[in-house]
Amino acid sequence: MSILDRMFHRKKDDLERMPPEIAMGQVEGETVYADDIVAHITGELERIRDERMVYELQWTMNANFLAGHQNCEMDINLRRITEEENMEIRDRERRVYNRIGPIMETRLAHLGSVTYDMVVKPRTYEADDYAKASVSTKILEYCKANTGFAHKMRKAVAWAELTGTVYTLSWWDTQAGDKVGEMERMEVSDDGTETVTMAPIYSGDLDFGLVSSYEVFPASLTTEEIADQRFIIIEQVRDVGTVYDMYGLRVEGESVENYVLTPIPQGVTGHGHSNFTFGLQKENTENAAKVITYLENPSRDYPIGRIAIIVRNKLIFYGDLPGGVMPLRDIKAKSVAGQFYGKSVIQDLIPLQRSYNNVCNKIQDFIGTITANPVAMEDGAVTNMGEIENNGIEPGSIILTRPGAKIPEFLQYPSPPSVVENERMKLEEAMEYTAGVSQMMMYGGTPTGVTSGTAIENLRDIDNTRMSLTADNIRDGVIEMAKIWLKLCKAFAGGYRVLRIAGSDDAGYVSIWTREDINSYDVEYTAENELRRSAEQKKQDFLAALNAGLYTDENGMLPQEVKRKYRELFMEGDAESLSMEELQRKYAARENSYLDQGVLPERGRYDDDRVHLDEHIRFAISRDYQIFAKKMPEYAAKFEEHIAVHQQEIAKREQAAMQQQMIMRGNTNG
What local confidence, expressed as pLDDT, does residue 166 receive?
95
What local confidence, expressed as pLDDT, does residue 354 receive?
93
Q: How far is CA 27 from the centre of its chain?
A: 42
What local confidence, expressed as pLDDT, does residue 190 receive?
61
The pLDDT > 90 percentage for the chain reads 31
- Kindly indicate the confidence band of residue 261, based on its pLDDT and cuts at 50, 70 and 90: low
* Most confident of the following: 97-111, 340-354, 504-518, 599-613: 340-354
Q: Which range (281-295, 341-355, 498-512, 642-656) has the least confidence?
A: 498-512
Report the C-alpha gap between 609 and 623 in whole angstroms. Answer: 23
What local confidence, expressed as pLDDT, does residue 10 receive?
34
Rounded average pLDDT over 251-279: 60
Region of 338 please: left (phi>0), alpha (psi -120 to 50) or beta: left
What local confidence, expressed as pLDDT, does residue 3 receive?
33
Within the chain, what is the greatest distance between any pair of CA atoms? Answer: 126
Q: Which range (256-270, 375-389, 494-508, 555-569) has the least confidence?
A: 256-270
Rounded average pLDDT over 132-155: 91
User: How does pLDDT run across 437-489, given as a tens digit for each residue?
Assistant: 876 555 555 555 555 555 555 556 566 667 888 999 999 999 999 999 999 99
**pLDDT above 50: residue 124:** yes
**pLDDT above 70: residue 506:** no
Nearest to 104 by CA among 156, 65, 74: 65
- Kindly indicate the confidence band of residue 218, based on its pLDDT and cuts at 50, 70 and 90: very high
**pLDDT above 90: residue 514:** no
User: How does pLDDT run across 89-108, given as a tens digit for each residue?
Assistant: 554 667 889 999 999 998 99
Report the C-alpha gap between 334 and 343 in whole angstroms. Answer: 5
Residue 457 CB-half CA count within 13 A: 10
Q: How far is CA 77 from the centre of its chain?
A: 34
What local confidence, expressed as pLDDT, does residue 465 receive?
67
User: How does pLDDT run across 399-411, given as a tens digit for each residue?
Assistant: 777 787 777 777 6
**pLDDT above 90: residue 327:** yes
The β-bridge relationship of strands 205-212 and 194-202 is unpaired
What local confidence, expressed as pLDDT, does residue 252 receive?
84
What local confidence, expressed as pLDDT, does residue 334 receive?
92
**pLDDT above 80: residue 388:** no
Residue 401 CB-half CA count within 13 A: 11
- Kindly indicate the confidence band of residue 17, based on its pLDDT and cuts at 50, 70 and 90: very low
What local confidence, expressed as pLDDT, does residue 92 receive?
64
Rounded average pLDDT over 542-548: 76
- Mean pLDDT, the chain, whole residue set: 79
Buried b (16+ CB within 10 A) or exposed e, 406-431: eeeeeeeeeeeeeeeeebbeebbebb
Nearest to 282 by CA among 57, 100, 44: 57
**pLDDT above 80: residue 539:** no
User: How does pLDDT run across 268-296, given as a tens digit for each residue?
Assistant: 454 444 454 555 666 777 888 899 999 99
- Kindly indicate the confidence band of residue 571, based on its pLDDT and cuts at 50, 70 and 90: low
Residue type for position 434:
T
What local confidence, expressed as pLDDT, does residue 83 receive?
82
Report the C-alpha gap between 395 and 410 in whole angstroms. Answer: 14
226 phi and psi angles, rounded to 5 deg: -60, -40
The β-bridge relationship of strands 328-332 and 165-173 is antiparallel
Q: Which range (247-251, 414-418, 447-451) has the least confidence?
A: 447-451
What local confidence, expressed as pLDDT, does residue 502 receive?
60
**pLDDT above 60: residue 576:** no
What share of residues in the chain are helix, strand, coil (percent, to 5)? Answer: 45, 20, 35
- Kindly indicate the confidence band of residue 154, based on its pLDDT and cuts at 50, 70 and 90: very high
- Kindly indicate the confidence band of residue 24, based on its pLDDT and cuts at 50, 70 and 90: very low
**pLDDT above 60: residue 331:** yes
Contact (Cβ atoms closer than 8 angstroms) between residue 307 and residue 324 = no
Name the more confident of 407 and 653.
653
User: How does pLDDT run across 158-217, given as a tens digit for each residue?
Assistant: 999 999 999 999 999 888 887 777 777 776 666 667 777 787 888 889 999 999 999 999
